[in-house]
Amino acid sequence: MSSDEGQQNRFKTLKNGFAGLVVVGALFLSFAPESIWHGASVVPVSERKESGGFTLSDLEGNTWSLEAQRGKVVLVNYWATWCPPCRAETPALVRLADEYKAKGFEVVGISLDEDTNLIRPFVDEYKISYPILLPSNATNLSLMIEALPTTMLYDRQGRRAKRYVGAASESTFRADIEALLKE
């Protein structure tokens, strides 16, 4: 075997080994326990920071602001119609919004769709009862949003209590919402 053939074989071995690591890593992340992604509980009150707040328009052109929700526990879900995990998570958000609304809980969705014509059919299909907001051109969400869906949970004082990157289960949301509603 020539030195070139040996070098090519070593390269193939390294390449195959790297590909194997990528596959194993992807499988681990796909089946990793939810606690890796979302933590065990909400951030303790003493560690929560004031949120920057925001005001956006909903699909009907009405203004919605986080500041106006003080006194409520608020879940803000950044999503898009083309996002499969967002689609999977939406029915749970609808159930939670309906179930906890009377207890001082609010869900709001912020659609990151470029084609806003896709949003209304999605809202109708999933029977979304909570406000869907549209980011303004001045909003720089790329600094906050790493993946879709991303969800922020705020306490009654408007402080961020938890951040979820990726889809979260209904039971995780429910436990965190109930903990904040009891505060």
pLDDT for 121 beyond 50: yes
Structural domain boundaries in the chain: 1-32, 39-182
- 4-61: per-residue pLDDT in tens? 565 555 444 434 443 333 333 333 333 333 434 445 588 998 889 888 788 999 999 9
Tokens coding 161: 């209590």
pLDDT of amino acid 15? 40
Q: Tell me how far apart the alpha carbons of residues 82 and 93 are, in angstroms, rounded to a whole number.
A: 17
pLDDT of amino acid 49? 87
pLDDT of amino acid 1? 58
Of 71, 28, 75, 55, nearest to 133 by C-alpha is 55
For 58-66, the CB contacts below 8 A with 24+ separation are 58/131, 58/132, 58/133, 58/134, 59/119, 59/120, 59/123, 59/132, 59/134, 62/131, 64/108, 64/131, 64/133, 66/154, 66/158
% of the chain residues with pLDDT over 70: 74
Q: Name which CATH class applies to 39-182.
A: alpha beta
